[in-house]
Amino acid sequence: MEYIPIAAILLVIMEMNGAEVWMVHLCGLLLMAGRLVHYYGLRNREVRWRRSGMAATYLSLILMVIANIVYLPWDIIFSLH
């Protein structure tokens, strides 16, 4: 399973929901760093680098989901209009 398409969609939704710019950048940088560290671990057959890369990837995805829940326009969703 590849995480980049899901993460890209989450980043776009974060931007649309009005999340802070630094949050979007932080999540994107954490995702890219995690994927690069994971690749380095795969290339050099080092499990700790792979584990760290996947942890960073999952952490960035979790942060994106939490940010999207926090910045979701709840007043529009639950309005009676």
SS3 80: coil
Q: Which tens digit of pLDDT belongs to each residue from 4-41?
A: 999 999 999 999 999 999 999 999 999 999 999 999 99
Neighbours of 34 (CB within 10 A): 22
- pTM metric for this prediction: 0.88
Helix, strand, coil percentages in the chain from 3-state DSSP, rounded to 5:
85, 0, 15
Give one word for 46, left, alpha or beta, with left for phi > 0 and alpha for psi -120 to 50. beta
Q: Which tens digit of pLDDT belongs to each residue from 47-75?
A: 999 999 999 999 999 999 999 999 998 88
What pLDDT was estimated at residue 39? 95
